[in-house]
Homo-oligomer: A and B are copies of this chain.
Amino acid sequence: MSGNTFGQLFKITTFGESHGEGVGCVIDGCPAGLELSSNDIQKELDKRKPGQSKITTTRQESDTAEILSGVFEGRTIGTPIMIFVRNKNQRPEDYAVLKDLYRPSHADYVYEAKYGFRDWRGGGRASARETIGRVAGGAVAIKFLKDKAGLEFVSYVEQIGDIKADVDYREVMIENVEANIVRCPDQASAQKMTELIEKTREQGDSLGGVIVGVVRNAPVGLGEPVFDKLSADLAKAMLSIPAVKGFEYGSGFASVTKRGSEHNDEFYAENGKIMTRTNNSGGIQGGISNGQDIYFRVAFKAPATIGKEQRTIDKKGKEAVLAPGGRHDPCVLPRAVPIVSSMAALVVMDHYLRQKVSKS
C-alpha cells in the first residue's frame, strides 16, 4: 500500500534511498525465455547517470547494475528479477545542514509530517536517484517488447525554458536524440538549449521543459476499460516521475479549442489494415491503443534545488536561510529522457500481458 510497486502483471517494485547502501528494483512477472544481460540494463542506466555531460550535475557515479536473481544462462526464468545498483559517490555530510530545514518545494516537510521521521541525506527516498530502479526495470520491458513484438520507444526533449524545438514526433529517431547532450533531436535548438542551461546554472538558477514520448508499433487492443485506460496509466506513470507537473496525449490541451468535426480521426483501410488519416487521438481511443503511433507530452518544472540563497523555515517553524545547493542538475530533462521511455515501456509491457486474457 506504500506505493513502491507499479504494474499489475509486469510488476516493478523499486527500493533504496539516495544515500543508503544502494537502489534497485524487483521485477515480478517477466515471462520466461527473454534473453537478458546486465548490458541491456546498463545501456539505459548510462543515459540517466549523473556527470555524463557538462550540463548535468557534477556528481560522478558509475551506477553499475547487477542482476542478482531471475536470470539463468542468459535468459529470464519466470522468477523475480532483482537488480541492484550500489551507491558510491555519497557525501551525506553535504546534507547535514539540511537535517532540520525544510527546503522550498522539496518533499522534506511532507515526509516528516507523514512518517514522523525522515532520511534527510540527499532527499532519501524522494531523491530522483530512486528512478534508477525504474530505468533498470524499464530496460527489461523495452528489451522484451522490442524482441518479442517489435515495439520502439523514443523520447526526446522538445522544450527547455522558453526554447521550443520544431520536431515532428513521427520522424524522430533515437540516434538523433542521442546525437547531443540535451537529447533534443532538433540539433539547432539543442545547441541553444545547452547554452541556456549553462547560463542558467551560472546564474544559480534552474530550468523546466517538456519531454515528448513516442511508442511505435504497439498492437491494437492495449488498455483496459474503464479505469486502466492506456492513457490513464501513462498519465499516472509520468506524474509519478519527480518534477512532473502535467501530461497530455495526442491533441492534449490543444484539443480544447477544436470542434468535434475538426478533431475526429477518420478511419480508412489499406491492405486490410485499419488506420486513421489524422492522429489527434494519439494512438489511443476509448483508452485502448488503435495501432497508430502513441505520443504524449510531459511537463517538468525547474528543479527546486538552486544555486541561490532562499528563505525557509526549520522543523520548529523558525525562519531560516537555505544556502545555495551543491552539486545538482540545473535542468533535469536530458537525464529524464530515459526515465520517460522506461515508464512508458513499463505501462505498455503491463498492458501487453494484460490483453492476453481479454478473449477466450
Contact = CB atoms under 8 A, between A and B. Distances in A.
A359 interface: yes
B111 A286 contact: yes
Contacts of A200: 259
A26 to B, nearest CB: 5
Interface string A302-340: 111110101111000111000000000000000000000
Interface stretch (A42-50, A177-185, A236-244): A236-244
5 contacts: A3-B223, A15-B70, A79-B119, A144-B360, A255-B302
Main secondary structure of the interface of A (DSSP, over half): mixed
A351 to B, nearest CB: 9
A75 interface: yes
Interface stretch (A53-61, A165-173, A187-195, A267-275): A267-275
Interface string A224-261: 11111101111111111010111111111101111111
A288 interface: yes
Nearest to A34: B360
Given A205-B260, A266-B312, A304-B264, A220 B110 contact: yes
Given A239-B231, A250-B245, A354-B1, A15 B82 contact: yes
Nearest to A131: B226
A128 to B, nearest CB: 10
Contacts of A317: 269, 272, 274
A66 B223 CA distance: 29
A90 interface: no
A91 interface: no
A107 B290 CA distance: 9
Pick the most buried of A81, A117, A144: most chain B CB atoms within 10 A of its CB. A117
Nearest to A22: B68
Contacts of A345: none
A-B pairs, top 3 by smallest CB distance, nearest first, are: A107-B286, A3-B224, A3-B228
Interface residues of A, number: 153
Contacts of A119: 72, 77, 79
A280 interface: yes
Given A20-B68, A224-B1, A312 B114 contact: no
B16 A8 contact: no
Interface string A20-43: 111110101101111000000000
A89 interface: no
Contacts of A78: 2, 114-115, 117, 358-359
A217 interface: no
A132 to B, nearest CB: 12
Contact of A360 (B4, B32, B210, B272): B32
Given A76-B360, A126-B286, A236-B239, 18 more contacts: A3-B228, A4-B226, A14-B80, A16-B80, A24-B82, A32-B116, A34-B360, A72-B118, A105-B264, A114-B359, A130-B225, A206-B261, A248-B253, A256-B301, A258-B302, A259-B302, A266-B311, A267-B313
Contact of A6 (B34, B221, B227, B358): B227
